Amino acid sequence: MSYVFPVTKTTNPKAKPDPDTLRFGTEFTDHMFIMDYTEGKGWHDGRIVPYGPLTLDPAAVVFHYAQEMFEGLKAYKTADGRVLLFRPDMNAKRTNRTNNRLCIPQVDEEMYVEAVKALVKVDADWIPQKEGTSLYIRPFIIADEPFLGVRRSNTYKFIIILSPVGPYYEGGLTPTKIYVEDKYVRATPGGTGEAKCGGNYAASLKAQEEAHEQGYEQILWLDGVERKYVEEIGTSNAFFKINGEVITAPLNGTILPGITRDSVIQILKKKGMKITERRISIDEIVEAYKKGQFEEMFASGTAAVISPVGELRYKGDNMVINGGGIGPVAQELYDTIYGIQTGKVADEMGWTVEVK
Ligand SMILES: *Cc1c(COP(=O)(O)O)cnc(C)c1O
């Protein structure tokens, strides 16, 4: 099926940002995609319009009860000028899983990917080409019915905005310092941990700020019941290499099912490495560290792709991993995934989708 979205071009194009000073999520392109949902009518009127503010009723459900979800993916420009998306079908699928949890209506997944492609095509000039830069794509859905009772909204807006972004870390991969959070929790079984929604993030800000105050960039969350098993890191999934085995937490309802996480697992399997999805306690990690078997730690997520962890702090003790440097597995994964995303490494998995 082919989808046609009417395009209203801006009459007031903005100046493109300087690729050398690009940061993350501060600049937005000239256009956005909007589609409405009305109960009884379904999703309708998908369209591309000039980027700009929305008008919403102050009683809109999203403002009061946070019925909202979001996604994140990137478009890259290859050396020969092609525009590539990385596994956008996975974002569409995850959207519907999140929607199901938050009582937001399902979206046609093929239409979703076509909407992303159509918008990226209109603003393709905004994709920066410098090493490490890309166009970040943020699809999101908000409940906009004006209604103060608590129930699912009868109307929604599905919106996609685009933001040209710089490398997550200046000068390539940089090891981060991570704080193991033992006071606040992110998710509990039966909650919304596996849904990609703003509410999870509002609840995490306090812990994030306290870790920052102590000089740590991100938090490693422990499970919400026993505060014992490691779950994930801020906006990314966590991997530990212990005595030759790469371990990541299983998708048991409290972990966000990262697309980069899935890609890491598939690549490591293909390379013949030992990769296990299982619960791993912080005590097991501390024990391994004491025995000199804690070899590497890294995080995976769309924004930074792979970020090595150089230091982990738990209850007053610091573990310096890999001498605080970049581990070989993290480096190889970064080179492979970023290489596939930018067309420099052959895409044997069929993960990239060209925007034509
Ligand atoms: C988005 C997200 C991730 C990473 O998912 P990717 O699909 O790899 O970008 C991990 N954890 C949380 C909490 C997230 O919101």
Confidence of residue 173 (pLDDT cuts 50, 70, 90): confident
- For the stretch 14-35, pLDDT in tens is 999 998 889 889 999 999 999 9
Establish whether residue 306 lines the binding site of ligand 1, counting it when its CB lies within 6 angstroms of any ligand atom: no
CA-closest residue to ligand 1 atom 10: 236
Residue 338 has pLDDT above 70, yes or no: yes
Q: What residue owns the CA closest to ligand 1's atom 3?
A: 236
Question: Is 186 a pocket residue for ligand 1 (Cβ < 6 Å)?
Answer: no
> Quick one: how far is CA 179 from the chain centroid?
20
Cα-to-chain-centroid distance, residue 342 = 18
Q: What is the mean pLDDT of residues 262-277?
A: 98
Residue at token pair 């993960």: 351
- Exposure string (b/e) for 121-151, b if CB count within 10 Å is 16 or more? ebbbebbbeeebbbbbbbbbbbbbbebeeee
Residue among 256, 263, 267, 334 whose CB has most ligand 1 atoms within 8 A, to mutate: 256
The answer to whether residue 295 scores a pLDDT higher than 70 is yes
The string of pLDDT tens digits covering residues 198-242 is 999 999 999 999 999 999 999 999 999 999 999 999 999 999 999
In short, whether 192's Cβ falls inside 6 Å of ligand 1 is: no
Contact 230, 240 (CB under 8 A): yes
H or E stretch covering 214: none
Q: Whose CA is nearest to atom 14 of ligand 1?
A: 235
CA angle (113, 118, 121) in 5-degree steps:
125
What spacing in Å lies between the alpha carbon of 47 and ligand 1's midpoint?
Answer: 27
Give pLDDT, residue 170: 66
Mean pLDDT for 84-102 is 98
Overall average pLDDT of the 61-81 stretch: 97
Nearest atom, ligand 1, residue 196 CA: 15
State if residue 302 touches ligand 1 by the CB under 6 angstroms criterion. Answer: yes
Give pTM, 2 decimals.
0.97
The model's confidence at residue 2, banded by pLDDT at 50, 70 and 90, is confident
Give first-to-last CA distance, the chain, whole Å: 16
- Residue ID of nearest Cα to ligand 1 atom 6: 258
78 CA distance to ligand 1 middle (Å): 24
Is 256's C-beta closer than 6 angstroms to any atom of ligand 1? yes
The whole-number average pLDDT for the span 130-156 is: 96
Ligand 1 pocket check for 72: Cβ under 6 Å: yes
Would the CB of 235 count as within 6 Å of ligand 1?
A: yes
- Whether residue 168 has pLDDT greater than 90: no
The three-class DSSP label of residue 246 is strand
**Among 87, 89, 302, residue to substitute to test ligand 1 (most atoms within 8 Å of Cβ):** 302
Mean pLDDT along residues 310-322: 95
Q: How far apart are CA 32 and CA 7, in angstroms?
A: 10
Rounded-to-integer distance, Cα 69 and Cα 98, Å = 7
234 lines ligand 1 (CB under 6 A): no
Q: Are 79 and 343 in contact (CB under 8 A)?
A: yes
Rounded CA separation 26/326 (Å):
28
| Alpha carbon nearest to ligand 1 atom 2, residue | 235
Average pLDDT over residues 92-114: 98
Q: Which atom of ligand 1 is nearest to the CA of 301?
A: 8
Q: From the CA of 302, give the closest atom in ligand 1.
A: 9
* Ligand 1 atom closest to the CA of 72, numbered from 1: 9
Q: How far apart are CA 289 and CA 45, in angstroms?
A: 56
Strands 245-248 and 274-277: parallel
Strand partners, 141: 69, 158
Find the mean pLDDT for residues 120-129. 97
**What is the DSSP track for 79-121?**
TTS-EEEESHHHHHHHHHHHHHHTTPPP--HHHHHHHHHHHHH
What average pLDDT is seen over the chain? Answer: 96
Pocket test for ligand 1, best of 194, 233, 237 (most atoms within 8 A of CB): 237
**Residue 218, token pair as written in the block:** 């991100």
| Maximum Cα–Cα distance across the chain | 64
Between 328-341 and 259-270, two packed helices, what is the crossing angle to 10 degrees? 110
Long-range contacts from 206-210, C-beta under 8 angstroms, 24+ separation:
207/181, 207/183, 208/234, 210/183
User: pLDDT of 29-52, one tens digit each?
Assistant: 999 999 999 999 999 999 999 999
